[in-house]
Structure 1
């Protein structure tokens, strides 16, 4: 029996617009104009004789019919994409890799030249993610995440444990003359919106009260680290994000680093192929070569 389906391009345009919430975002993903997306959606509405979007163009809302269609269409397109990847040339092609933006800028990109030199026929296409539950991660070949290390982690490759420590510019360190972590309260402490519990997590690991003080809260970890390099205050940073800055003398870590209890893990899609295995092996090798974080320089006195 002949399949009774609307044009595939119209279905793809609708799925992208419905999933991303904006015609312009769908146009960017599919490399077409917003007008083309709008025309494809209108064509689909005529074909199905149903309304799929309502509300304003700036904030389109899904109709009940659109929600029903999207719930089936997205998994179907994901399965098609996975099948195409599974039978494509395993030795070359594109790998879609997602991770937090600061990790990408401070750790992954500075080392990626090595993988490119070893495997020039494999393109690593990077995408940033800001949430651990970002639905777009399901479409990635590999996602690098920070989480607790479970005893059973199928399709996951452990990289390294996370260690946290206060960091600041050398000139600011000389001026403040910090002796112990008890000197931190009242100082300018920098934070990131994505990790507002970082100071509390570090203080708990060190066995002291959470230090409090004035200071800016930045949208991204990267901005907080750049603020610390510029002397704006003291940031609490994972060792792997600031190791290069410390080795280059742009930052100092007066109290060393202690374990946060979290680990960086590379989570792979279920359908593995050779190029994904090559990238995972390379990631593990890079993680193994990474310099160990300096241990806390002194025991933490008990807080009053």
Structure 2
């Protein structure tokens, strides 16, 4: 087995992560010249430059970035295997997750995870967009883009949007539109898209990456165009639109996980009209080479179980 200078690998990982020879030297408790020597030795062995050095700036070369992904993963696996062998039960896992999914669905469930698996030390890395699948970012991910062949994926949720408003606002709509239940059955009422357009529509930019894209898709699902007379109130994030709906500012489009856990879900009314699938499918993702790590598999099984129990995912899925 032909291996590179093994002492140089954690030095390379530290320099790349900290983007500094001096900071890496401090972390590793060695001199800066020792760090520089290890990097030069590794570059000589590989026959490739790993860093671009320009004045005081330091950056990875393309070869360095590619090598870092492989080295980081290998060092993490060695660390996990060593901890398991010496009897350290605690499994430290970094999960990168969308902010709305974390705040409205995941975080309220974490006490149950801790009770079931006290050895699992979970750290959340919040992402506003789809995360880059890399060990440098996190150990595992919740993503809507299962595109990396180096990763495995487990279905959690297929997103659909439906209109909601506050309890008080629903009473206002019923009163103004003279909506009455038949025999006390709320399902007997229905709102047409034309009725919905009479009220302010709270729109979330981030869902379709354009203003009004969510409501355009909702009307298109009914075979209609978004009425030109619509009053759109724009927010960057679904969390903001939902808060605006809570405070009686109009009708928002939201999804199942936003209302499936929090005690304040009862503040909202799901309006009696159609929903629309966004095309986004949420997956739990982990690097296939790390599939045997106990912490990742404990988290995977727990997430799938919670997704099924909360109605996000059917028990049987075809993948």
Whether these two folds match at TM > 0.5 is yes
* 1:266 paired residue number: 284
In the superposition, relative to structure 1, how do residues 77 and 114 fare at CA in structure 2: closer, same or farther (>3 Å)?
same
Contact 1:206 1:258 in 2 (8 A): no
Counterpart in 2 of 1:298? none
Tell me which of 153, 156, 180 is aligned to 2:192.
Answer: 180
Q: How does 1:133-152 map to 2 (within 5 A)?
A: 133-136=131-134, 139-146=137-144
Q: Secondary structure at the match of 1:252?
A: strand
Q: Aligned pair in 2 of structure 1 residues 181, 109: CA closer, same or farther (>3 Å)?
A: same
1:242-257 to structure 2, matched below 5 A, reads 242-244=259-261, 248-255=265-272
Higher-Rg structure is: 2
TM-superposition CA deviations, 1:77-127 (whole Å, max 9, x none) = 233223433554295311221210000010011111111101111111111
2:53 counterpart of 1:70? no
Cα RMSD, aligned residues only? 4.2
Report the TM-score when normalising by structure 1: 0.70
State the alpha-carbon separation in 2 of the partners of residues 172 and 126 from structure 1: 35
Residues 168 and 233 of structure 1 are in contact (CA less than 8 Å); yes or no, is this contact kept in structure 2? Answer: yes
TM-score (norm 2): 0.67
Shift of the alpha carbon at 1:11? 3.1
Residue ranges of structure 1 left out of the alignment (5+ in a row): 294-304
Change (3 A) 1:292 1:266: closer
The gaps in structure 2 that reach 5 residues or longer are 44-48, 178-190, 314-319
Shift of 1:141: 3.1
Compute the displacement of 1:145 (Å): 2.3
Aligned counterparts of 1:139 and 1:9: Cα–Cα separation in 2: 17
1:237 aligns with: 254
Structure-2 change in CA distance of 1:211 and 1:46 (3 Å): farther
Partner of 2:295: 275
Matching residue of 1:207: 223
The separation in 2 between residues aligned to 1:70 and 1:153, in whole angstroms, is 16
Equivalent position to 1:160, from 151, 157, 161: 157
Match among 213, 218, 224 for residue 235 of structure 2: 218
Q: Does 1:11 align with 2:12?
A: yes
1:127 aligned partner: 125
**Alignment size in residue pairs:** 271
From 73, 76, 84, the equivalent of 2:79 is: 84
Deviation at 1:129, TM superposition (A): 1.9
User: Do the aligned partners of 1:91 and 1:275 also contact (CA within 8 Å) in 2?
Assistant: no
Alignment of 1:184-195 (within 5 A): 184-185=196-197, 187-195=199-207
Aligned pairs (5 A) from 1:32-43: none
CA distance in 1, matches of 2:32, 2:165: 53
Q: CA deviation at 1:284?
A: 1.7
